[in-house]
Amino acid sequence: MTDTAPTYTLSDFDFALPPHLIAQHPAPERSASRLLDGRATQPADRIFKELPGLLRAGDLLVFNDTRVVKARLFGEKASGGKLELLIERVLEGGEVVAHMKVSKKPQPGTVVHMAGGLHGGGFDALLLGRWPDGDGPLFRFALRGPAGETPWELMERHGHLPLPPYIERQQQGGNDPDAAADSERYQTVFARAPGAVAAPTAALHFDAAVLADLAARGIDTACVTLHVGAGTFQPVKTENLAEHQMHSEWYEVPLATLAALERCRQRGGRVVAVGTTTVRTLESWARSGQASGDTAIFITPGFRFQVVDLLLTNFHLPKSTLMMLVSAFAGYAHVMQLYRHAIAQHYRFFSYGDAMLLERLPADRS
């Protein structure tokens, strides 16, 4: 069976979401978010800190340990025209790949001045061309700091945390009074590997108390890495899902996690993916046999899952690839029913919103 189901089109994944349900701030405490237990036919409304009691000894939770970097940078062209870069990936030799927001795109060879420019306390960026292959949707830059800093150092010093576009309080230039709080709450408590421009948001609900409760109940944990790209927010524009070009992201499944997955299977435990990025990582590994690399896996109804048994996830944008993924996992009709329940019960949506626990649809019913 193919990964795309022609009976579903883009419009099937649309729904009306009242704007006031889009969370603009995190819950006061990470584990105080609500949790919709959507495993059974009738959903149950819970609090996130109850999650360990919903799992079994021997289960394995797999997290994405990527760390969000301050990838949003502001600058100007030599003409004075304003521009914004969102660094998607760091390459070798001080080069980066970035989205560029500007009224008129400069030509390759142009030097733009970021955060005041090389002589104004910031740094310069030389536009090398489009990426990948010279005609892609992103742009490749060489960064020039005053003291030979790496792109990581320049982002840390001059960048802003790239909150999702639906969090409207982040103003132009990053002048957000809540930015200091975001620097903590828009990271998971186990964030380790820098490289993401968006958080693996289902994992934002975990705190030390929940992790300790999981361990006390004999529930294991492991990590993968997938550096979430800005493409996760890009809308699907084609009614025919097979025509959508999925963005590419880098992932890694460490040897320790591969061993943990094998032990989980041997003892009859269930693999619980924390977030859609973890699903994409584990299923990419299962399909390719590659423990690291780039993935552009597009999961839609009809997909055959090989690794993940349960999914913990937040509530997603209408018509998004993430809506398609969760529908493939738990069944389209069931997921749409759960979303109707969540809206009726005033759950909070998207990155800073509430969570949902799903069980994989049996293969003979997918």
The model's pLDDT over 142-156, given as tens digits with 9 standing for 90+, comes to 999 988 899 999 999
In this predicted structure, what is the pLDDT of residue 1?
Answer: 41
In this predicted structure, what is the pLDDT of residue 249?
Answer: 94
Average pLDDT on 281-287 reads: 98
In this predicted structure, what is the pLDDT of residue 234?
Answer: 79
Average pLDDT on 77-96 reads: 93
By mean pLDDT, which of 38-47, 66-75, 228-237 is the weakest? 228-237
Please say if the pLDDT value at position 171 is more than 80.
no
CA dihedral sign, ordered 4, 357, 213, 27: positive
178-206, pLDDT tens digit by residue?
Answer: 677 898 999 999 999 999 999 999 999 99
In this predicted structure, what is the pLDDT of residue 148?
Answer: 86
Domains of the chain: 10-68+188-365 (3.40.1780.10), 72-159 (2.40.10)
CA angle 274, 23, 348 (to 5 degrees): 65
212-260, pLDDT tens digit by residue?
Answer: 999 999 999 999 999 999 877 778 999 999 999 898 999 999 999 999 9
Which pLDDT band holds residue 39 (cuts at 50, 70, 90)?
A: very high
Which pLDDT band holds residue 2 (cuts at 50, 70, 90)?
A: very low
Mean of per-residue pLDDT scores for the chain: 93
Which pLDDT band holds residue 170 (cuts at 50, 70, 90)?
A: low
Which pLDDT band holds residue 136 (cuts at 50, 70, 90)?
A: confident
In this predicted structure, what is the pLDDT of residue 134?
Answer: 78
CB contact at 8 A, 165 and 231: no
In this predicted structure, what is the pLDDT of residue 176?
Answer: 62
The Cα 24–Cα 359 span in angstroms is 28
In this predicted structure, what is the pLDDT of residue 151?
Answer: 96
Average pLDDT on 75-103 reads: 94
In this predicted structure, what is the pLDDT of residue 157?
Answer: 95
Higher pLDDT, 15 or 170: 15
